[in-house]
Structure 1
Amino acid sequence: MLLTISGLTKSYSTAEGPIAVLKGIDLHLQAGESVALTGESGSGKSTLLHLVGGLDQPDGGRIIVNDRDIATLADAERALYRRHEVGLVFQQFNLIPSLDVAANIAFHARLAGRQEPEWERQLVEKLGLTALLNRYPEQLSGGQQQRVAIARSLAVRAPLILADEPTGNLDEATGDAVLNLMLSLSGEAGSALLLVTHSMRLAGKLDRQIMLRAGRIGG
């Protein structure tokens, strides 16, 4: 089992008092598996993804990735975890403005010491980025930036890919094509994929669907 989550809880402080976002989540993901995380806005999907990605720490519970509980890691250890074991695709893209497309795609893999030019070339070609390699993020549309972010996340061949609405800035036809490519390319990389989406139609393309309702796994 690549990922095992048990009893995961998370609350945030507000002026009116603490708000419980996750209320005891249990979830597992096998190597090579694709799982869609669905649910209404505010159900805790993005919070869960941030916790699994080591971007935040839970209040309680365990997040076991490759037999290690990342919920207990210190900041420096979580940074190494994000560098080597996770590929992240979030709605904000988080591309580096001063780097062109080629350098953005290579950035994560280079940090992790796993840069593979031939694999990057395949990603660029299959995601339709060949003509954009010398451009900078500000010169790209939202959909183009999203495809660059997807290429960057896959370039490192991380065991776990976390994607938050990765097709949200694309039209339906392009979104379908990009998701199909993500599934194909993550499979080629041997990565497991945990993907947040509001679309049950897109969720149906993945191996399993898990629904969050008010901070709990629903039916």
Structure 2
Amino acid sequence: MSAFANAENLAFAQARAPLLCVEGLKKSYATPQGRLPVLRGVDLTLEAGTSLALMGESGSGKSTLLHLVGALDDADSGDISLDGVALARLTESGRARLRREKIGVVFQQFNLIASLTVAENLSFQARLAGRRDALWEAELARRLGLSALLARYPEELSGGQQQRVAVGRAFAVRPRLLIADEPTGNLDEAAGDAVLALALDLVAATGCAFLMATHSERLAARLQRRVRLEAGLLAP
């Protein structure tokens, strides 16, 4: 086989490889009664350009799994790789750089910086990552219906508008993976539906992978796949 064919096959294999790969993930926490296992051996894959709803009862470990995948916490055992990078092999500074450059996060709480305008909040993570793109930020503001609000501060916005700013901030860095933890939990049904629709449009436009934790069967049905976290394991 020629060198060109080998390179072509390698590129094809890389393109088909999962963007996110989780294998045998375990996590427990210390309690007065001893260690409390939360994740007991989770296996999960997610391809670029696809979306997955993570479901489960409160306390089932959804947020724990998102924090581990987002390089915000360490697992007891198991492996997580994102875009070919094994998280366990990274230094703390390497994990911070990965979070800034490749992961967008949207929480139930909007977590906007009150002293910054909408425009400044939108660009915040991209500035930290040294990847600010003013044209892309303007496009995000247009897509998210924020163009007329850029000079305002978070306290001047509705809940739905604040969450749209949070979505834009996450996408401004052009992440490879978007993580959302109950992103519509503080919104009414109409506003929540609108925010999710905008996020899914941006996922399609950018080709990133989307992992969302939610209690809502209705919202989960909008994503391409869904799994349920039960007794520390994932079930389809």
Q: Secondary structure at the match of 1:18?
A: strand
1:16 paired residue among 33, 56, 61 = 33
Q: Which residue of 1 aligns with 2:211?
A: 194
Bigger mean CA offset, 27-36 vs 117-126: 117-126
TM-aligned CA deviation for residue 130 of structure 1? 2.4
Structure 2 length as normaliser, TM-score? 0.88
Bigger mean CA offset, 76-85 vs 162-171: 162-171
Letter in 2 for 1:72: R
2:172 paired residue among 148, 151, 155 = 155
Runs of 4+ in 1 over 4 A off after TM superposition: none
C-alpha contact (below 8 Å) 1:162/1:195 kept by paired residues: yes
The percent identity for this pair of structures is: 58
Bigger mean CA offset, 100-109 vs 68-77: 68-77
Structure 1 length as normaliser, TM-score? 0.95
- Mapped to 2, the partners of 1:19 and 1:129 lie a distance apart of 44
Runs of 5+ unmatched residues, structure 2: 1-17
TM-aligned CA deviation for residue 191 of structure 1? 0.8
Which residues in structure 2 correspond to 1:1-219 (within 5 Å)? Answer: 1-219=18-236
Q: Secondary structure at the match of 1:13?
A: strand
C-alpha contact (below 8 Å) 1:157/1:190 kept by paired residues: no
Runs of 5+ unmatched residues, structure 1: none
Root-mean-square deviation (Å):
1.3
Count of equivalent residues? 219
- Mapped to 2, the partners of 1:48 and 1:172 lie a distance apart of 26
- Mapped to 1, the partners of 2:153 and 2:22 lie a distance apart of 38
- Mapped to 1, the partners of 2:115 and 2:230 lie a distance apart of 40
- Mapped to 1, the partners of 2:96 and 2:77 lie a distance apart of 20
